[in-house]
Amino acid sequence: MYVPGHFAESNTEVLHSLIERNPLGILVTNGGSGLDANHIPFELSKDQGQLGVLHSHVARANPVWQDIATGDEALVIFREAHAYISPNWYPSKHDFHKEVPTWNYLVAHAYGRVTIRDDERYVRGMVARLTRTHEAGQTVPWKMTDSPKEFIDTLLKAIVGIEIEITRLVGKSKLSQNKEERDIRSAGEILKARGEPKMGDAMLLAADAKAERTKA
């Protein structure tokens, strides 16, 4: 991923937080059958390894777990938000007429080494953690024990665990930081008014940060 310096996000805590808020990742692999991409939810264990470990699973019928092998490198892409930015939203455009459209976004790329975990204990524990995480906001959270044991056991046999130890984290927060503070702020306010609060708030924070640097 091309990351100009003004768009780089290297803070591990910030990137971990982005992953946790947006757990549906794109697993990109290059196995025996060539390039492949699978959209699957991940559970991040921040305290494992140097940069964390990602845990997930795929259907046993999905060939990806046999197409790659333990020790192979993989890339998982997590995206939080994105938005088209019109040059008309920049006050400087109306002064100088030297702006063009762009697309802003917040992403984290996690590179790592794969371990195929085809064992029931790992899969059961990983699915239980995923369930607890994503059912936590429900009025009555669903639990694996809500279904018959035989039913759950059968389903667990139909999936295979995939573990990825993160070896490199690359983040990009493209928020028009290369523009004037007034342009960043104006675009952020317009995005919020258009019903895109994630990108709007992120751009307003970027505008605040630029204003603080200017004062310094």
User: How high is the pLDDT of residue 216?
Assistant: 65
Residue 4 has pLDDT above 90, yes or no: yes
Instruction: Read off the pLDDT of each residue in 156-177 and give the average, rounded to a whole number.
Output: 97
What average pLDDT score do residues 144-163 get?
96
Asked if the model's pLDDT at residue 98 lies above 90, the reply is no
For the beta carbon of residue 70, count every other beta carbon within 10 angstroms. Answer: 10
| Rounded mean pLDDT, 167-195 | 96
What is the pLDDT at residue 200?
97
Which tens digits make up the pLDDT trace of 57-88? 999 999 999 999 999 999 999 999 999 999 99
**Residue of 90, 87, 25 whose CA lies nearest to 54:** 25
pLDDT-derived band at 213 (thresholds 50, 70, 90) equals: confident
3-state secondary structure labels for all residues of the chain: CCCCHHHEECCHHHHHHHHHHCCEEEEEEEECCEEEEEEEECEEECCCCCCCEEEEEEECCCCHHHHCCCCCEEEEEEEEEEEEECHHHCHHHHHHCCCCCEEEEEEEEEEEEEEEECCHHHHHHHHHHHHHHHHCCCCCCCCHHHCCHHHHHHHHCCEEEEEEEEEEEEEEEECCCCCCHHHHHHHHHHHHHCCCHHHHHHHHHHHHHHHHHHHC
The SS3 call for residue 160 is strand
pLDDT at 174: 97
Q: How confident is the model at residue 107 (pLDDT cuts 50, 70, 90)?
A: very high
Tell me, yes or no, if the pTM score tops 0.85.
Answer: yes
Q: Distance between CA 163 and CA 188 in Å, rounded?
A: 37
Q: What is the mean pLDDT of the chain?
A: 95
The share of the chain scoring above pLDDT 70, in percent, equals: 99
